[in-house]
């Protein structure tokens, strides 16, 4: 099933876009798998996702750890730690 | 009443406080975060995650209202570019007594810093940089969980 | 800057906050105490000790400014008769970071309640009575000493 | 030496005035002595000062306990526990 990827802040700048629609294969089970899969074909993604400790994620607008599953997810967002307020 | 707003326009604190006062509480606490004038920053730019941001702020407001029995919670967060001295965020809480209002207000601004999807970029004369999250913010937010 | 005012006129919160914001802080906390609308009180009357009140509030403000490294402390306290919904007291603190501003603001309103010479009288349909001090107020103030 | 007495809230109402100038004898050494001395000649003062646990005092605009000395005091204020804010 297609997933809407969203990127924010320097992740967005590194990937070079704010969103993209992707359709990962069935063995891409977690957010981390999704990052690996996206990085495999794209140096820009690979660079933006290079330091996993600096990445945070949300699945369908809920914060999740990178090892969270993405079964049924419609929207996955990748971004740095938040700095609002 | 819970009022959550994410907006590009400047924050009107007087109007926000007047709305809270109209609800008849005895105690109102508020917090205003501003772009500091002393950091060499010429522009602060706030990016957010439309939809999720409003939902996250509303969840924080509802949680505080239930925990402290508040009459009102107002959160207004600005996004887009802003200048030194301008308001970035405004939080107000209203309760019958001061303890609840003060604690809830402190909790909301602490948790908002780590639990709502905003990202700050600072523009200085040397260029621009994304602000890094502070470990102290996570500690502050953890006090309230 | 320290601003302490005891006045019979209504408190203008917007003007007080604007003065604080003009000093370039990153974080402003404020507290507003209002005559509650739900207590059957038609008039709340505040008596004070002219001279000593201003000195006591100034001492509290100076103590907080030193302890928390504040840029601003504003205390405005109204005296005389006031109606439900009107502001009795306004406290604002400004600092570089939010923790100092929030803590100092909470401390000031807690200590003001037990360390400044004001006395409240409530007028209801049944007559009028002097408000008794609450033991909880003394406990709250003691936290900060 | 003459002392300016000030009364506030229900103490003022009980005494029937907001201030008065008094000149106590030398053996009136503390705030409590002053209250006793004032109460001795005046039923209104005696009644207003009846429950010492409910009285607070300031000497020259500083809060003091009732057993505080008044040597050299110019202004002594008597009032209930404060209830501002």
**CATH number of the domain enclosing D27:** 3.10.20.30
CB spacing of D83 vs C116 below 8 angstroms: no
pLDDT value at residue B145: 87
Distance CA B60, CA D34 (A): 57
Q: Is residue D84 part of a domain?
A: no
CA-CA-CA-CA torsion sign (B108, B114, B119, B121): positive
pLDDT value at residue C40: 85
Lowest mean per-residue pLDDT among A37-46, B38-47, C103-112: B38-47
Q: Which domain holds residue D11?
A: 3-79
Mean pLDDT, rounded, for B119-137? 92
Distance CA A9, CA A16 (A): 11
CB spacing of D9 vs C133 below 8 angstroms: no
Residue D71: exposure state from Cβ atoms within 10 A (0-12, 13-18, ≥19): exposed
C2-142: CATH number: 3.90.1170.40
Q: Is residue D55 part of a domain?
A: yes
B contact residues 60-99, partner A, Cβ 8 Å cutoff = 77, 88-89
Tell me which residue of A59, A56, A60, A48 sits closest to A78, measured CA to CA. A56
- Torsions phi, psi for D76 (to 5 deg): -125, 125
Q: Is residue A34 part of a domain?
A: yes
pLDDT value at residue C145: 87
- The pTM of this model reads 0.94
Q: Is residue D65 part of a domain?
A: yes
Mean pLDDT, rounded, for C4-33? 95
In Å, how far is B78's CA from the nearest CA of chain A? 9
CB spacing of C52 vs D85 below 8 angstroms: no
Task: Assess whether pLDDT exceeds 80 at residue C78.
Answer: yes
When CB atoms are compared, the residue of D58, D61, D84 closest to C113 is D84
pLDDT classification of B39: cutoffs 50, 70, 90 = confident
pLDDT classification of C135: cutoffs 50, 70, 90 = confident
Distance CA B32, CA B125 (A): 26
Chain D contact partners (≥3 CB pairs within 8 A): C
- Torsions phi, psi for B89 (to 5 deg): -150, 145
Q: Is residue A84 part of a domain?
A: no
When CB atoms are compared, the residue of B49, B55, B109 closest to A77 is B49
Mean pLDDT, rounded, for D8-37? 97
Distance CA B82, CA B41 (A): 10
B contact residues 43-72, partner C, Cβ 8 Å cutoff = none
Task: Assess whether pLDDT exceeds 90 at residue B135.
Answer: no
pLDDT classification of B24: cutoffs 50, 70, 90 = confident
3-state secondary structure of B112: helix
Q: Is residue A85 part of a domain?
A: no
Tell me which residue of B107, B98, D31 sits closest to C112, measured CA to CA. B98
Write out the H or E segment, with its range, that includes residue C19: helix C13-21
- Count the domains in chain D: 1
C-alpha distances (whole Å) from C39 to each of A82, C33, D26 are 43, 14, 49
Strands across the sheet with A62-64, in order? Answer: A19-22, A3-7, A75-79, A56-59, A62-64
Tell me which residue of D48, D67, D45, D40 sits closest to D10, measured CA to CA. D48
Distance CA B131, CA B127 (A): 13
Q: How far is CA A37 from its chain centroid?
A: 10
CB spacing of B33 vs C27 below 8 angstroms: yes
Q: Is residue A63 part of a domain?
A: yes
Distance CA B88, CA A83 (A): 12
Q: Is residue A21 part of a domain?
A: yes
In Å, how far is B129's CA from the nearest CA of chain A? 9
Mean pLDDT, rounded, for D37-51? 97
Chain B contact partners (≥3 CB pairs within 8 A): A, C
Helix axes B135-142, B98-115, angle to 10 degrees: 140
Task: Assess whether pLDDT exceeds 80 at residue C109.
Answer: yes
C145 interfaces chain D, CB cutoff of 8 Å: no
Looking at beta carbons, which pairs linking C125-131 to residues 24 or more positions away fall under 8 Å?
C125/C40, C125/C42, C128/C45, C130/D9, C130/D10, C130/D80, C130/D83, C131/D83
Give chain C positions within 8 Å (CB) of D82.
113-119, 133
pLDDT value at residue C74: 98
pLDDT value at residue B105: 98
CB spacing of B49 vs A61 below 8 angstroms: yes
3-state secondary structure of D35: helix
Task: Identify any residues that bridge with B28 across adjacent strands, giving them in sequence order.
Answer: B94, C32
Task: Assess whether pLDDT exceeds 90 at residue A1.
Answer: no
Task: Identify any residues that bridge with C80 across adjacent strands, giving them in sequence order.
Answer: C46
User: Are C and B neighbours with ≥3 CB pairs closer than 8 A?
Assistant: yes
Write out the H or E segment, with its range, that includes residue C135: helix C135-142
């Amino acid at each position: 099933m297609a997933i809407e990827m969203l990127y924010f802040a320097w992740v967005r700048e590194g990937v070079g876009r704010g969103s993209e629609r992707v359709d990962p294969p069935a063995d891409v089970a977690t957010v981390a798998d999704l990052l690996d899969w996206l990085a495999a074909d794209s140096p820009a993604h690979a660079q933006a996702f290079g330091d996993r400790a600096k990445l945070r994620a949300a699945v369908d607008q809920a914060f999740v750890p990178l090892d969270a599953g993405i079964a049924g997810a419609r929207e996955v967002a990748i971004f740095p730690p938040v700095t609002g307020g | 009443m819970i009022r959550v707003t994410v907006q590009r326009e400047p924050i009107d604190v007087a109007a926000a406080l007047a709305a809270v006062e109209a609800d008849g509480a005895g105690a109102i606490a508020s917090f205003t975060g501003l772009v500091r004038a002393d950091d060499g920053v010429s522009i602060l730019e706030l990016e957010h995650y439309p939809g999720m941001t409003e939902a996250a702020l509303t969840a924080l407001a509802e949680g505080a209202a239930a925990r402290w029995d508040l009459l009102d919670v107002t959160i207004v967060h600005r996004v887009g570019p802003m200048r030194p001295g301008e308001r970035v965020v405004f939080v107000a809480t209203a309760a019958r007594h001061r303890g609840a209002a003060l604690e809830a207000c402190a909790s909301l601004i602490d948790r908002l810093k780590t639990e709502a999807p905003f990202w700050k970029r600072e523009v200085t004369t040397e260029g621009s940089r994304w602000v890094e999250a502070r470990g102290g913010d996570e500690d502050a937010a953890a006090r309230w969980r």
